[in-house]
Amino acid sequence: MINGKHLKPRDMGKPADQLTKIDRLMPLPGPFDKLDTAPEFKEPKEEWREKYCTTLDGFIAIDTLKRPETKEEEEEFVRKFLQGLGKMLSEETNRGIIQPLKLSIEYCAKCNTCSEACHIFQSTEGHELYRPIYRSEVLRKIVKKYFTKSGRLLGGLVGADIDLNWETVARLGELSYRCNLCRRCAQTCPLGLDNGLLAREIRKIFSQELGIAPKALHEKGTELQLKTGSSTGLTKPAFLDIIEFLEEDLEEKTGKKIKIPIDKEGADILLIHNAGEYMSWPENPMAFAILFEEAGLDWTLSSDLLGYDNVNYGLFYDDGQAKKIALKQFEAARKLGVKRIVLGECGHAHKAAVVTADRMTYGANKVPVESFLPILRDIIKDNRLKLDPSKNNFPVTLHDPCNVVRQMGIVKPQRDILKAVAPQFWEMTPHGVYNYCCGGGSGFAIMNSFNFPEWRKNVSVRMKVKQILEVFQDTLEDASIPKYICAPCSNCKGSMRDILEHYQLTAKYNVQYAGIVELVVNALADLDRPFFEFLEE
């Protein structure tokens, strides 16, 4: 096993039961400053070692990547990987990304400026495996060795010094799932290169060529969504039942009798939520219904296939799946004849539908898409809601979803909203476009196979835990004061749920979390009792 400080990119192909391990974690501020920063992760089980790839850092993210049983299968796997790599580099098969990809492959000066920007590298006290360019450099070495003349002729002299075998490829696949694709590193690159893009391209080769992707993203993600309408498996009849339940619950909770519009043809707005909200955080779609009705918007939900779930996990690992889902979501909107799609609190759905899908088709196939945030900001600005911000008189901080801020430039509306409804709003450091990922980005929040959650809860979320502890440092230990993390994204909320549970921040320190619409509803002047359960006596 190679120590984290001594690991080199060319070591990826070396035979070892486990290439390296995490030996240190970033210290956290009080009250966690006494925690041992030398982690004791459980060893992967023997049966996992035999069947899956545990030879990177001991963790398994890709639960469909199984060890071959014969030498021939091993060779075939490597051959297919190289075939996929060739397709990645070809204008014929990878047109939609070829220019940015080739730039990022060609120009890295290895100046390491990006390292400090990465929350995973920082959380492991600079473990070499998680340096943003480590993964990129392994990929470059393979590209150089097999796809360039200089690499074939000069080998190690030009950096083409890596052994390619099943272990190298499998470890590289695993390593592509140790990056949240937050692209914070790309903000600092003096040459404008993008390690997140390269990590996603590796995931693409695995999915698009080898047919290998984490079950949570593919089989129980995009495939399930295309089949049933939602990655949660929520079918149309079940969705309609849930809406009825929401209406009843909403009335019970707020005294407001609201008929949630479904399949209203020709409505101005088709509101699409992350379907995970209906299952895990039903107060969120309830709050949307209250606000949109109070503001008098002409809106509807859709019960059509893919019309009631805005997620698009294709964004994380597969261009084809991303396109299929995005186009079907447009189709659901076109069928209803709505004027625009408005996305609820889901960061990656924002990016997928507004930014990524923007160039997937054209003309009449498209429907304008926008975030709910500017609409809500305008509703509040126009005084269409009667608000009493003193109802939210507790410390509130905002977690910025990377896809909404860094990758879309929606920064100010959510702050305008919070300033109107939360008198004790505190920014995290850093925030806005320079925020840190919640640690659950790019699918991690829903990937729960084997020991991957252990890695996530200790490593990828760590920087966010640090930020939360820092922003609430003055009131943290006073459990009589609720502290609220506003995370306007389902995926980020999943990560917050993990954080608060794992570090016992709710149980011990009364740290709460939810979205932004719930805060606005809680501030509605005409509500007799709090919308948040944690505020009820």
Partner 1 sequence: MLLLIFSYFALLSFIFLSLYKAVQYARMPVHGRLDLYPIPKEKGKAEYGGSYMEESGWWRKKHEISFAGELKEMLQEMLFIKRLFEHQKSLWWLSYALHLGIYLLIGWTILIFTGAGFELVGVAVPSSGGLARLIYYLTILTGAAGAVLTAFGSAALLFKRLVMPSFKKYTSAQEYFNLLFIFSTVVSGINVWQQDVGFNYGREMARSLLTFQPIQADAALTVHIILLGLLLIYIPLTKMSHYAGKYFTFHKVLWDNAPNLPGSKVEKKIQEGSQFKPKITWSAPHWQTTDEKK
Bridge partners (DSSP) listed for residue 271: 342
Q: Which of 34, 362, 528, 536 binds partner 1 (CB under 8 A)?
A: 362
- Could you tell me how many residues of this chain bind partner 1 (CB under 8 A)? 97
CB of 457 to partner 1, least distance (A): 28
CB of 148 to partner 1, least distance (A): 12
Q: Which of 194, 283, 294, 345 binds partner 1 (CB under 8 A)?
A: 194
Specify the residue, 117 or 271, whose C-beta has the smaller distance to partner 1.
Answer: 117
Work out whether 83 is an interface residue with partner 1 (CB under 8 A): yes
Work out whether 157 is an interface residue with partner 1 (CB under 8 A): yes
Bridge partners (DSSP) listed for residue 119: none
Q: Which two tokens stand for residue 481?
A: 């004061």
DSSP structural state of residue 177: T
What angle is formed at CA 450 by the lines to CA 164 and CA 180, rounded to 5 degrees? 65
Span near partner 1 by CB under 8 A; candidates 58-66, 323-331, 446-454, 460-468: 323-331
CB of 404 to partner 1, least distance (A): 9
Q: Which of 412, 419, 508, 529 binds partner 1 (CB under 8 A)?
A: 412
CB of 184 to partner 1, least distance (A): 10
Q: Which two tokens stand for residue 396?
A: 């509130």
The length of the chain is 537
Work out whether 370 is an interface residue with partner 1 (CB under 8 A): yes
Minimal CA–CA distance to 206: which of 415, 64, 340, 387? 64
Is the Cβ–Cβ distance between 499 and 372 less than 8 Å? no
Work out whether 408 is an interface residue with partner 1 (CB under 8 A): yes
Q: Which of 33, 43, 116, 241 binds partner 1 (CB under 8 A)?
A: 116
Is the Cβ–Cβ distance between 433 and 411 less than 8 Å? yes
Distance CA 40, CA 22 (A): 9
Residues in 327-356 at the binding interface with partner 1, rule: CB under 8 A:
327, 340, 354-356
Bridge partners (DSSP) listed for residue 229: none
User: Residues 434-463: x/- map of binding to partner 1 (CB under 8 A)?
Assistant: x-----------------------------
Work out whether 108 is an interface residue with partner 1 (CB under 8 A): yes
Specify the residue, 410 or 500, whose C-beta has the smaller distance to partner 1.
Answer: 410
State phi, psi for 400 to the nearest 5 degrees.
-85, 120
Distance CA 148, CA 400 (A): 41
CB of 509 to partner 1, least distance (A): 31
Q: Which of 18, 64, 148, 188 binds partner 1 (CB under 8 A)?
A: 188
Work out whether 76 is an interface residue with partner 1 (CB under 8 A): no
Place of tokens 């002047």: 525
Strands 483-486 and 425-426: unpaired
DSSP-assigned letters across all residues of 89-136 = T-TTT-GGGHHHHHHHHH------TTGGG-HHHHHTTS-GGGSHHHHH
User: Residues 209-238: x/- map of binding to partner 1 (CB under 8 A)?
Assistant: xxx------x----x---------------
CB of 274 to partner 1, least distance (A): 19
Q: Which of 27, 374, 453, 530 binds partner 1 (CB under 8 A)?
A: 374
Work out whether 102 is an interface residue with partner 1 (CB under 8 A): yes
Work out whether 429 is an interface residue with partner 1 (CB under 8 A): no
Specify the residue, 117 or 496, whose C-beta has the smaller distance to partner 1.
Answer: 117
Specify the residue, 373 or 447, whose C-beta has the smaller distance to partner 1.
Answer: 373
Q: Which of 4, 9, 389, 482 binds partner 1 (CB under 8 A)?
A: 9
Q: Which of 27, 100, 282, 453 binds partner 1 (CB under 8 A)?
A: 100
Is the Cβ–Cβ distance between 44 and 455 less than 8 Å? no
Residues in 161-180 at the binding interface with partner 1, rule: CB under 8 A:
161
CB of 113 to partner 1, least distance (A): 5
Specify the residue, 140 or 457, whose C-beta has the smaller distance to partner 1.
Answer: 140
Work out whether 97 is an interface residue with partner 1 (CB under 8 A): yes
Work out whether 99 is an interface residue with partner 1 (CB under 8 A): yes
Work out whether 3 is an interface residue with partner 1 (CB under 8 A): no
CB of 101 to partner 1, least distance (A): 8
Neighbour-count burial for 490-525, b at 16+ CB within 10 Å, e otherwise: bbbbbbbbbbbeebebbeebbbbbbbbbbbbbbbbe
Specify the residue, 25 or 408, whose C-beta has the smaller distance to partner 1.
Answer: 408
Distance CA 279, CA 2 (A): 43
Distance CA 195, CA 215 (A): 24
Work out whether 87 is an interface residue with partner 1 (CB under 8 A): yes
Burial label, 255 (beta-carbon count in 10 A; 0-12, 13-18, 19+): exposed
Span near partner 1 by CB under 8 A; candidates 36-44, 47-55, 411-419, 462-470: 411-419
Neighbour-count burial for 277-297, b at 16+ CB within 10 Å, e otherwise: bbeebebbbbbbbbbbebbeb
What angle is formed at CA 313 by the lines to CA 80 and CA 484, rounded to 5 degrees? 140
Work out whether 201 is an interface residue with partner 1 (CB under 8 A): no
